[in-house]
Amino acid sequence: MSWQQSRYPGELREKIAVIHEGIDTEAIKPDPRAWVELNGQRLHAGDEVVTYVARNLEPYRGFHTFMRSLPQLQALRPAAKVIIVGGDEVSYGRRLPEGQTYRQRYSAEVQGQVDWGRVFFVGRLPYAEYLSVLQISAVHVYLTYPFVLSWSMLEAMAAGCLLIASDTAPVKEVIEDGKNGLLTDFFDHDRLARKVAQVLGNLDLYKPLCIQARQTIVQRYDLNTVCLPKLLDRLKHGAWD
């Protein structure tokens, strides 16, 4: 991504071509018939479902902020269900003492304030099940430090999710606030809860953002029509000779 390119020294930056690996928008797309079953509950596209996805649940991806938003979110939207996808290892940043996980730490912080019957920790999922989670999402939350942007954010947009994402540099390269998603302060869990609740209460109003989110990915990051042709052209013309 261009933000990553900008981190290199000037003499190297001008030699770097920014070509994303590409998103298969034919495989990743909205599906109004999508559903998932969790703990005996079947959730469908159109239900009041909030999703959060990370390879691992850790502060680099704003897991602490998301967890701290849950008490207020549940108070504002008592019917909302929350699906959290991700493992308990650490991909980036500081590791906790052996035997401890960030999920344990931040679950303990909000213990007694959250109805865990409406929160589903599903770990890492097979790809098809992960896509179904995105396809039933009413609001998808993506938070990150100024760091490498996750594939999951672009895939969520391709699936037609309503994105509420952190107002951080790599995110703003893709999401324009109010046009193809909504931005919020990375650390402000109260504001995050209010934004999610506001969207859940007015889903029809925000539907154009979902449509534009997918269009952004199709136009700028589609595997077959944008990214692969760029890469092949780069190879054909010997750019790395």
pLDDT digits (tens, 9 = 90+) for 133-186: 999 999 999 999 998 899 999 999 999 999 999 999 999 999 999 999 999 999
Note whether residue 94 is domain-resident. no
Note whether residue 238 is domain-resident. no
What pLDDT is attached to residue 234? 80
DSSP secondary structure string for all residues of 101-154: -HHHHHHHHTTTTS-GGGEEEEES--HHHHHHHHHH-SEEEE---SSPPPHHHH
pLDDT digits (tens, 9 = 90+) for 174-228: 999 999 999 999 999 999 999 999 999 999 999 999 999 999 999 999 999 999 9
Residue 126 identity = P
Note whether residue 95 is domain-resident. no
Per-residue pLDDT for 13 more than 80? no
pLDDT digits (tens, 9 = 90+) for 111-144: 999 999 999 999 999 999 999 999 999 999 999 9
Q: Which CATH number covers residue 161?
A: 3.40.50.2000
Share of residues in the chain with pLDDT > 90 (%)? 82
Structural domains of the chain, count: 1
Q: Is 183:177 a contact under the CB 8 Å cutoff?
A: yes
CB neighbours of residue 176 within 10 Å: 14
Note whether residue 190 is domain-resident. yes
Note whether residue 219 is domain-resident. yes
Note whether residue 60 is domain-resident. yes
Q: Compute the C-alpha angle 205/209/212, nearest 5°.
A: 140
Residues whose CB is less than 8 angstroms from the CB of residue 149 and which lie 6 or more positions away in sequence, other chains included? 1, 3, 170, 171, 173, 174
Q: What's the CA gap between 202 and 208, in Å, rounded?
A: 12
**Of 154, 149, 180, 186, the residue nearest 167 (C-alpha):** 186
Note whether residue 172 is domain-resident. yes
Entry pTM: 0.93
The end-to-end CA distance of the chain, in Å, is 22
The residue range of the domain holding 75 is 2-89+103-232
Bridge partners of 34? none
